[in-house]
Structure 1
Amino acid sequence: MVFSKIFPKRILVDEHGQATNIKLLSFGRPHMRALHLSWISFFIAFTGWFAIPPLMPTIKADINLTPSQISNANMTSVSATILARIIVGPLCDRYGPRRVMAGILLYGALTISMTGLVSSGPGLITIRFFIGMIGATFVPCQYWASKMFSANIIGTANALCAGWGNMGAGVSYFLIPWLYHAFALVAPPHVAWRITFVVPACLCILMAAADIFLGDDVPDAVAAVEKSCWKQQHHSGGGAHSDQGPGNNDVEKLALPQMGAKSDSVQTEDGSYDSPRLDAKMTFTTKAATGDDDSIRVAKPVTADTASATLLPSSPGHGPSAVVETLSLLKCPAVLILMLHYACSFGLELAVDNIIGELFHTHFELSQTMSGMLGSIFGLMNIFSRVCGGILADYANAHIGEGNQGRMLVHFTVLVFEGLFLIGFSLSMASLRSSIVTLVFFSYFVQAACGTCFSIVPFVNLKHRGALYGLVGAGGSVGSIAFNYVFKVYGINYSAAFRVSGYVVLGAAMFTWLLKIQGGMLHQLVSQRLNP
């Protein structure tokens, strides 16, 4: 069943034009192209965001950094994302994810390229602050997926986009040292490490252009592409329209809700970003115009049996300002709990991304290159770990309990295992081999917890999803500062730092029992199972 949801023969859409499955090997418009552009953009952003830590031994020696300056730079790097994510959330509601994503990447290209100008500890701290804002790409990444995919598959789509994007940190640890060594063949070391950062900066520019010119904000692009195709056929003298379209055997007559909107985002009367509610009229879609051989069919309407709610487009309207609306979400206990949980999953992941290379270099006395390769394991686990969390959450939602109770059960379980393996990692550091093995399991559960967390987030508030994603995402950044501070306090005593972090995660997991999403709570599911 899970396999058929990810590798189907065709994309199925609900009555709102959102896909109810994922054709992973497709790059067809609009759903799959948006998904792939989303995760690749976040991946490139992550690669640039964490390009500095893999070269920290070289940078430290070149500009005479102190351990305190390195720790402060690590904390500064993630502190910048707190405000950035809160601001970017409402911007996605207003302007759409595509433009916001491209804008952040262009900004990131500028700041990353300036890393080569750093010549002191304060300079490094400053540049890492400005680079850290690129972490806000997480918000349009998740928002984009929620626009394109229906409630029954949103956990998987969100986890896939964010998880594969997070791999950028792992790739940085693997790729950046090799780029440095390549440049060091033709330039002195103090010049080679500075040139290295030009590569991720250029990648950010290329990805921003791809987002602008290749992507679509909302599913309405299907109708626009179809309309353009029929116009071209009519102007070419093809005559009246037939079921298959004159002179084009690739056009297939398929039922699809009438979208009748431009491929770009739609502007409402107040100038805010929105997409129209779709009616039930029937139209056609074309395979030829999309550049992909996918056929898109209408699925059955999403009901309470398949999802907790339909993820309709948000509509800011003429209400309070974006800032007021965003801050008003903090009155919801579920938002605060999920911010805490994301702090203990993604926040912890960011903190470990900052120190994992230094841990292998300092604790096990490995070379910079070998430390980077082993450190890359942590980030590269995202290729399947976070996705597994989303898939498990969606599966549990469909087969265990009602509403989001199944998702909450999986989320609680994964958080508990994350805490236990954190403590296990702290106990395994006497041996390099046992540390690597335990690191793999810890990586899996901390990243899966990110996936299960954001399988729940979209259902907390359906109206202001951008603001909600920004707040919970900012919670991850706050958590990263907290855990970075723990590692700073304990210094090279990494074992104690990981053990304390494990206790914090186990404590935070207990708050899952207080979560109330659309009237459902975890204890209700347990009571039903114990007393059928």
Structure 2
Amino acid sequence: MLGEMWQFRGRYKILHMTWFAFFLSFVVWFNLAPLATSVQADLGLTDAQIKTLAICNVALTVPARILIGMLLDKVGPRKTYSLLLIYAAIPCLIFAASQTFTQLVVSRLLLSIVGAGFVIGIRMVAEWFPPKEIGLAEGVYGGWGNFGSAAAAFTLPTIGAWIALGATNPTTGEALLNWRGCIAGTGIIAALYGILYFFNVQDTPPGKVYRRPRSARGLEVTTKRDFWFLMLMNIPLTGILMLLAWRLMKVQLYGTETMYLVWIGLLGLYLFQAYNCWSVNKDLLSGKKRYPADDRYNFSQVAILELTYLVNFGSELAVVSMLPAFFEGTFVLSKAQAGMIAASYAFMNLAARPGGGLISDKLGSRKLTMAVLTAGMGIGYLMLGSVGNSWWLPFAVILTMACSFFVQAGEGSTFAIVPLIKRRVTGQIAGNVGAYGNVGAVAYLTIYSLLPTWLGGGTEPSPAILAQSNTYFFQIMGVAALIVAGLCFLILKEPKGSFAEHHEGEEEVVETPTMHTEIKF
């Protein structure tokens, strides 16, 4: 497969077009961060308001990944990805035209839905690649697409300065960035690619049937016990949204009474989701239906993968947010130096995530790969917790990149297993697992923001307190990863047909000339 990877035909054309769709969705999702200071200066926003926009940027991603997974299983990845990319232009244009903070908040909330694009490609790639190669294929899709966040950080400021035609701030003399043009431009490019994607991919290879669930209203389970397990694992998805609502109240976006109303609405959302799951599984729960042994799957496997993605992707999003400040404060570096060093963490995605998938393909045990990579991540975070200003800087950077490899390889290993759990509900499973990554990010970032206050007794934290909070933060992530690694060793099972030539219920599909079409414009 490695030798054929650079071809642009057949399944490799689908892979390349799909990872680039994910890449653009991440460019759009992360287009605020590199332009935040320009937005703040132009509209006179406070630091608290900018942080609020960052929270809004992930607020609806959790429920969106669930809903996108349901839509994906019903209508297929081609239509779902195309619609999402076209939709991305709407909140981008609203944000670019915003004049008030309220308009900015609404547009970022709408834009957070675009962050759900990841789960779509998981099923698209799984339809085109056999189980024995699924790890590398999903790793390429996730790793190369995920690089969109770093690409946005590196390119948007330069593009913003270019389209500002060299204008400078009359007070400070600093170069101005045309942030409105950048934000609008990313949305328009995503929408145009969505149209291109629609006319140049198909959901399955010719002759292969796209398998849909009996109902996409909720996740189908195959035992009564698994239904109640599903209800339990859905609680954190609602709980993290309640935590986000509390954080928005703390930054004074709204009052306590409004927060309580939001909480009531979120509880209603949980009950509605539970009702939909009951509707899908009511015959099973009433005893009218019983799945044969060969059609069952164990929901505990989904739950373990949700936890692995919580500790790996959740921690990645959290660490990317705090790493520049960590290096700047620990080693007394400039913001530019600290930012470049911290960027090495994100750069590892290009090789680490495909590497994790490849290891999962070649090692002969997806379970062992998942457990070892998660354990390595935990040890890496515990070691990062000991980094101080007495350390040799190059060694700290090497340790950071090594830890990053285990984190992102673990992400690749997670989604080397997801498509093998139960074929017809792959989209919903990927949506649930992906949503837990955002649960982890919000939980870790909340802990990180509160640690200095807790350790400092509510007073302004000193440099020593900040250093101690960084240590505790890495240790918390390390211990969580080691606990999940233990669960992988004890509970995770090797998926049936992990290294088979074909997916369950599939006949061999031979590539035909119709699969070698060129891109249509």
- TM-score, normalised on structure 2? 0.70
Letter in 2 for 1:145: V
1:6 partnered with 2:2: yes
Q: Equivalent residue for 1:416?
A: 375
| Partners of 1:173 and 1:375 within 8 A in 2 | no
Q: Equivalent residue for 1:166?
A: 146
1:429 is displaced (CA, Å) by 4.8
Q: Please give the per-residue CA displacement for 1:174-212, whole angstroms capped at 9, x wherever unaligned.
A: 112222333444445666223222332232123212211
Question: Residue 67 of structure 2 is aligned with which of 61, 68, 87?
Answer: 87
1:136 is displaced (CA, Å) by 1.2
1:345 is displaced (CA, Å) by 0.9
1:193 partnered with 2:179: yes
Distance 1:117 1:355, change over 3 A: farther
Question: Residue 459 of structure 1 is aligned with which of 408, 415, 420?
Answer: 420
Letter in 1 for 2:217: A
- The 2-side partners of 1:367 and 1:118 are apart by 32
Distance 1:386 1:464, change over 3 A: same
SS of the aligned residue for 2:27 comes to helix
1:145 is displaced (CA, Å) by 0.4
Q: Equivalent residue for 2:162?
A: 182
| Partners of 1:357 and 1:375 within 8 A in 2 | yes
SS of the aligned residue for 1:427 comes to coil
Matched ranges for 1:23-422 at <5 A? 23-29=4-10, 31-63=11-43, 65-118=45-98, 123-187=103-167, 192-220=178-206, 259=207, 275-276=208-209, 313-316=210-213, 319-323=214-218, 325=220, 328=227, 330=230, 332-357=299-324, 359=326, 370-397=337-364, 406-422=365-381
Question: % of aligned pairs identical?
Answer: 28
1:420 is displaced (CA, Å) by 1.6
1:428 partnered with 2:387: yes
| Partners of 2:367 and 2:494 within 8 A in 1 | no
Q: Please give the per-residue CA displacement for 1:388-431, whole angstroms capped at 9, x wherever unaligned.
A: 0000001112xxxxxxxx11111111111111222222332526
Distance 1:6 1:420, change over 3 A: same
SS of the aligned residue for 1:25 comes to coil
SS of the aligned residue for 2:348 comes to helix
SS of the aligned residue for 1:41 comes to helix
Question: Residue 440 of structure 2 is aligned with which of 473, 479, 485?
Answer: 479
- The 1-side partners of 2:165 and 2:216 are apart by 55
| Partners of 2:160 and 2:177 within 8 A in 1 | no
- The 1-side partners of 2:338 and 2:156 are apart by 12
1:86 is displaced (CA, Å) by 0.7
Q: Please give the per-residue CA displacement for 1:282-322, whole angstroms capped at 9, x wherever unaligned.
A: xxxxxxxxxxxxxxxxxxxxxxxxxxxxxxx4232xx4453
More displaced stretch, 103-112 vs 75-84: 75-84
Distance 1:119 1:350, change over 3 A: farther
- The 2-side partners of 1:335 and 1:192 are apart by 44
Q: How many equivalent pairs are there?
A: 402
Distance 1:442 1:109, change over 3 A: farther
| Partners of 1:98 and 1:217 within 8 A in 2 | yes
- The 2-side partners of 1:199 and 1:62 are apart by 18
Distance 1:135 1:407, change over 3 A: same
| Partners of 1:423 and 1:498 within 8 A in 2 | yes
- The 1-side partners of 2:483 and 2:51 are apart by 26
- The 2-side partners of 1:58 and 1:366 are apart by 23
| Partners of 1:55 and 1:368 within 8 A in 2 | no
- The 2-side partners of 1:515 and 1:461 are apart by 15
1:342 is displaced (CA, Å) by 0.5
1:516 partnered with 2:475: no
- TM-score, normalised on structure 1? 0.69
SS of the aligned residue for 2:138 comes to helix
- The 1-side partners of 2:81 and 2:135 are apart by 21
1:40 is displaced (CA, Å) by 0.5
1:351 is displaced (CA, Å) by 2.4
1:160 is displaced (CA, Å) by 1.0
> Which of the two has greater helix per residue?
2
Q: Please give the per-residue CA displacement for 1:111-148, whole angstroms capped at 9, x wherever unaligned.
A: 12333345566554443322221111111111110000
Distance 1:53 1:450, change over 3 A: same
| Partners of 1:155 and 1:452 within 8 A in 2 | yes
- The 2-side partners of 1:25 and 1:520 are apart by 27
- The 1-side partners of 2:399 and 2:162 are apart by 32
- The 2-side partners of 1:468 and 1:446 are apart by 21
Letter in 2 for 1:139: V
- The 2-side partners of 1:448 and 1:150 are apart by 20
* Alignment root-mean-square deviation, CA: 2.8
Distance 1:434 1:77, change over 3 A: farther
Distance 1:454 1:428, change over 3 A: same
More displaced stretch, 69-78 vs 170-179: 69-78
| Partners of 1:170 and 1:378 within 8 A in 2 | no
Letter in 2 for 1:322: R
- The 1-side partners of 2:151 and 2:446 are apart by 25
1:517 is displaced (CA, Å) by 4.4
SS of the aligned residue for 1:128 comes to helix
- The 1-side partners of 2:38 and 2:327 are apart by 15
Q: Equivalent residue for 2:472?
A: 496
Q: Equivalent residue for 2:247?
A: none
1:68 is displaced (CA, Å) by 4.5
Letter in 1 for 2:6: L
1:472 is displaced (CA, Å) by 0.9
- The 1-side partners of 2:44 and 2:388 are apart by 29
1:441 is displaced (CA, Å) by 1.4
